[in-house]
Structure 1
Amino acid sequence: MTPSDREATGLLTRPGDLVQLLDESGTRHANPEFDRWVADIDTDALIVLHRDMAVVRRLDAEATALQRQGELALWPPLAGQEAAQIGSARALHDDDFVFSSYREHAVAWLRGVQPHELLSVWRGAAASGWDPFEKRMAIPNIIIGAQSLHAVGWAMGAKWEGSESASIAYFGDGATSEGDVNEALVFAASFAAPTVFFCQNNGWAISEPVGLQSHQPLARRADGFGMPGIRVDGNDVLAVLAVTRWALERARRGEGPAFIEAVTYRMGPHTTADDPKRYRTDDDLAHWRERDPITRVHALIAASGADIDAVDADVKAAADRAAADLRAGITAIPDPEPMSVFDHVYAEPNSHLERQRDRYARYLAMFADQDGGNR
């Protein structure tokens, strides 16, 4: 992809377009407006952020391999988006509530979701992987953009109850064209809901480039709803952490919602059912590999004088443990009983569901009769 082509798709990032504290080479740049939001991030804290990103990248690679091996029905990879997710999730308070799409595995990891809980839905073994109220994170939403409405509704309720908690809604660039997201922005602005809209602009809405749906940076859409919009280098974990802390703090002060556009890149396919080579080039992928979110933090840690060999050994050990737990968790997930699909559809039984249950039971009985009752 040529530079002009890249600009046409909205993927080219130019100096001044977005907040950046850590560039592609790992060089730290001063920013008078946002430095104070990460003043507490010393070398030890950087090492933690680096470990977080490296571990979730390994988990993502393992889950992708498990899908290829037939252990999962589908998997939506997050590779390349680690800084956007880890940086924003590290900005959250324990009592904040997360509403995500289906790709925020790193956010779930930081909210305490266990490896096997990440996999159960994608294995087809459960309708949800964890208790949303325990983790303060709703289960992943497959319906594009619907979670943004849920985030605003929760935030409005929290505000009316006098809570200082905030919600955050994660969605991709493609979701900004959905009615649900725009309706959520209207409600949030109208009622000054303490919600942060976090858009991971990863360049592609499945196979369509972001420039096809928006000729302006997505963050500028916030202007029309009367809320601040900010564009950040989504591969810079420090900048993401800073702008998310800023947005959450103003929400807690009662100043209403904010819109963050984290400019990043989806290194892998949209899901394991997708072939990205059909719509993007190797040159484009190489362009973004040079902007890898993990290597730039690694470079900054090394430049700080830290024992980088010890850091690498610690990260490898942590990633190996997480990957082993992920694979062990696959075999520990029990297959659900077929009739359990009806158990949690409605809070109360009803005749419509009972008719479906009866039909399905008779359907399954046909196979039992054919096998002499063995199935």
Structure 2
Amino acid sequence: MPSSPRFPGAINSPLTTKMDWIVPSLMPPIPTYRILNSDNVIEDESRLSAEIPTEEILKWYHNMLTVNIMDGIMFDAQRHGRLSFYMVSAGEEAVMVGSAAALAADDVITCQYREHGVFLQRGFELKDFMSQLTSNCNDPGKGRNMPVHYSGRKKVGVHAVASTLGTQIPHATGAAYALKMEALENPSAEPRVAACYFGEGAASEGDFHGALNVAATQQCPVLFLCRNNGFAISTPSSQQYRGDGIASRGAGYGIETLRVDGTDIFAVYEATKEARRMALEHGGRPILLEFMAYRISHHSTSDDSSAYRSREDAAHWKSPERNPVSRLRHWLESKGAWDADRDREARAQIRKDVIRELTDAEKEKKPALRAIFSDVYADLTEEAEAQRQELKRIMLKYPAEYDCDQNVDGVQGL
């Protein structure tokens, strides 16, 4: 008797005489993994890695608090004209800090533009943030990018942020493929993964689908870390997709996937740690994590979120029971590792440090004018050289029109 045909497009699909339609609305919703319960208590302590000392968790809290306070100050600074633009990450601090804590120091990271906590957890300092935000001479990007587009590849292993939505996702897949080849050539080397951060809005870009498909077919060791805050820039998720969030797409590409409570830093940490372990198994494979959170503030200083959501909804997620900073603080206090007095002192000191670093950054010189033309070609093209000479001529002819004394080397350095 001949064997059943094996269609190459779906080899393991059994044959049936019944018309079995896949009806998404009848499928159970994907559950959300958590460790902290609704009262911010860990009911099963065995679910938390035993090797995490309380001192490390206190560092997580301090970094989350720092991001939260820095965001508030920088948002106001933009309103006062001290910055041209800013984006806060209120409500998503646990996603950033918790996931970054689970990654290795030499993992390759690409991100979007709300990953302040990732940079901070991996060693970025307040001076580094302020140098980029004020576009001074200490900014590795030489002042050529808009605020919150940090560059930390050399210092913290995070590639520069770019505004083009979704491009970092295939970049991560490419990096992961390179890491896979590197591991094959040097089996004794410490294995590494690529990790990519993006929002659910970026998952609507074609780059997302191409990156996941290549990563799956080539079995690349990459973590796709999606921050699903429900609104993208200003479009509710209900208007972006009909499927069950972003996690449902992972299964479609044959990628192991987990949905996680993004306001629970313990769940974020444990999920990312396990995802990294899985990604390195059997020569490598991609993993998708969907972190469920809520963007408490506006998308950016150019946005008014009251136009597309209610203030009551945002206030609910800002409450101590729901926002990630308060949730971790509640747990620390229940363990006797933190109290109200220490919290007040920490907040006051962080606020003082942020304001001091911002003020100091504003006093620094701006990058050299010649940086306008550098880093594109090894040698300037004839056209670029002519433009440089013309710019220098005009600046020397009309010195009162340009604040060249604010730049390193001034116009003469051009």
TM-score normalised to structure 2 length: 0.79
Shift of 1:369: 8.1
Is 2:161 the partner of 1:133? no
Shift of 1:228: 1.0
Using CA pairs under 8 Å that are at least 6 residues apart, name the structure with larger relative contact order, 1 or 2: 1
Equivalent in the alignment of 1:209: 236
Q: Which runs of 5 or more residues in structure 1 are unaligned?
A: 1-13
Unaligned runs of 5+ residues in structure 2 are 1-27, 137-142, 184-188, 406-410
Alignment correspondent of 1:177: 204
Aligned pairs for 1:54-65 within 5 A: 54-65=65-76
Which deviates more, 285-294 or 321-330? 321-330
User: Which is helix-richer, 1 or 2?
Assistant: 1
Paired residue for 1:230, among 246, 258, 264? Answer: 258
TM-aligned CA distance change 1:294 to 1:23, over 3 Å: farther
Residues 51 and 338 of structure 1: CA distance in aligned 2, closer, same or farther (over 3 Å): same
2:226 match: secondary structure: strand
Residue 329 of structure 1, CA deviation: 3.9
Deviations 1:39-95 (A, max 9, x none): 333543332222221121112222212222222111111111100001000001111
Matches within 5 A, 1:100-115: 100-115=111-126
Verify: 1:68 aligned to 2:76, yes or no: no
Tell me the CA shift for residue 109 of structure 1: 1.0
Distance 2:165 2:249 in 1: 18
Is 2:343 the partner of 1:312? yes
Shift of 1:145: 0.9
| Whole-Å separation in 2 of the counterparts to 1:15 and 1:300 | 29
State the Cα deviation string for residues 160-204 of structure 1 (Å, max 9, x = none).
Answer: 111501111011110001111211112211221111010111111
SS in 2 for 1:204: coil
2:109 counterpart letter in structure 1 = V
Residues 212 and 186 from structure 1, CA distance in 2 versus in 1: closer, same or farther, beyond 3 angstroms?
Answer: same
Distance 1:313 1:203 in 2: 32
- Distance in 2, matches of 1:333 and 1:97, equals 31
Residue 218 of structure 1 contacts residue 261 of structure 1 at CA under 8 Å; is this kept in 2?
yes
Indicate the residue corresponding to 1:20 in structure 2. Answer: 34
- Contact conserved, 2:134 with 2:362, CA < 8 A, in 1? no
RMSD, aligned CA: 2.7
2:50 equivalent to 1:39: yes
Instruction: Judge which range, 154-163 or 324-333, deviates more.
Output: 324-333
Report the residue type matching 1:161 in the other structure.
E
Q: Distance in 1 between matches of 2:220 and 2:80?
A: 44
Aligned partner (choices 303, 324, 327) of residue 296 of structure 1? 327
- The more displaced of 238-247 and 294-303 is 294-303
- When residues 207 and 307 of structure 1 are mapped into structure 2, their CA distance, relative to the original with a 3 A threshold, is closer
2:23 aligns to what?
none
TM-score by length of structure 1 reads 0.87
Write the letter of the residue equivalent to 1:84. V
1:325 offset after TM fit, Å?
4.5
Secondary structure of 1:208's partner? coil
The verdict on how the C-alpha distance between 1:151 and 1:321 changes in structure 2, with shifts beyond 3 A counting, is: farther
Distance in 2, matches of 1:286 and 1:51, equals 23
**Mapped contact 2:204–2:240 kept (Cα < 8 A):** yes
Tell whether the 8 Å contact from 2:30 to 2:259 is kept in structure 1 after alignment. Answer: no
